[in-house]
Structure 1
């Protein structure tokens, strides 16, 4: 009887020790995975509603530790044609982990009257597949938190289609409306940042 009780106690102790070792091993593996995951710059940790959608997206869920391009857009602007170039830039580099996000904005009074119209212009007229967000402010005291940071790091948009390149280190570079998305200073900086 004494041997049987010792055997049960030893079996219980060995089982508990094995569970503890498995738990420690799993925690160590999780810590290792976290150490290799790209760190998202704090200013990108913001939730936004997607354009003409009930879905929201946190920009950190798009960030892959690779360069990211953020653009303030408008549907009825002389630069609206840049949607085509922005889509070409996105298609060219998305396999490298580059993300592009459009922030629709009416800060310059050139956004569509409804999200449906803005979505039609972006998705149907220009074939945009990169993430587009619902209209938001990009300058002044009402600027969303991401653009508040971009404005303080570089300069606020002076018009629609200002482009902000976020490097993997979180550094911000600003390119004005007249800088084309492809075959430009923006694309050269993007390639260098990869």
Structure 2
């Protein structure tokens, strides 16, 4: 569902391929040299407005500085992302002016977890161990594809701006 299979040898997010909202495979190696903020998004969550608004603000501020946001819709938390991939993309792009990539809906927990999320969770565990607790969990990934930090749902995107600047070498 939205990602290809992985082996346990991955050491970089750049070793994965995922599918965009039109079903086209995207090699995450194209993001080598960029700082990434990877987020599991949902359109019908209490955290939606703040997160999407601040993600768009961060993106607009840093997109020209080797920074990219990768959004992965997920419907695992109270079915708060029920739309089709196209509906999800349209929602984010129209309502929140999202210009960053939005990929196919994925599973972030359980036996069918997308391989890229297995990698992220194994690299940085959180409050519930490796399990994703809720929508809008964020992973900051360095230019070489290594996971630098993990942030929970209640961490506002703008509050991690200092970490983004540090990863970009601006501090």
Counting helix residues as a fraction of each chain, which structure ranks higher?
A: 1
How far is 1:46 from its partner?
Answer: 2.0
| Higher relative contact order, structure no. (Cα contacts within 8 Å, ≥ 6 residues apart) | 2
| Distance of aligned partners of 1:138 and 1:161 in 2 relative to their CA distance in 1, 3 Å threshold | same
In 2: Cα distance, 1:171 partner to 1:114 partner: 29
CA contact (8 A) 2:59 2:68 kept: yes
CA contact (8 A) 1:67 1:190 kept: yes
| Distance of aligned partners of 1:107 and 1:143 in 2 relative to their CA distance in 1, 3 Å threshold | same
| Pairs within 5 Å for 1:63-102 | 63-81=31-49, 82-102=51-71
In 2: Cα distance, 1:174 partner to 1:117 partner: 28
How far is 1:189 from its partner?
Answer: 0.7
CA-to-partner distance for each residue in 1:75-128, whole Å, 9 max, x for gaps? Answer: 111111111211111111111111110011111121033223212211111111
Q: Unaligned 5+ residue runs, structure 1?
A: 1-39
Q: TM-score, normalised by structure 1?
A: 0.72
**Alignment length (residue pairs):** 151
Q: Unaligned 5+ residue runs, structure 2?
A: 1-9, 126-130
Q: TM-score, normalised by structure 2?
A: 0.81
**Residue 149 of structure 2 aligns with which residue?**
173
How far is 1:152 from its partner?
Answer: 1.2
**Residue 34 of structure 1 aligns with which residue?**
none
Which aligned runs of 4 or more in structure 1 are off by greater than 4 angstroms?
A: none
| Pairs within 5 Å for 1:15-94 | 42-51=12-21, 53-61=22-30, 63-81=31-49, 82-94=51-63
**Residue 114 of structure 1 aligns with which residue?**
84
CA contact (8 A) 1:66 1:168 kept: yes
User: Is 1:124 paired with 2:94?
Assistant: yes
Once superposed, what is the RMSD of the aligned Cα atoms?
1.8
In 2: Cα distance, 1:122 partner to 1:112 partner: 14
User: Is 1:104 paired with 2:104?
Assistant: no
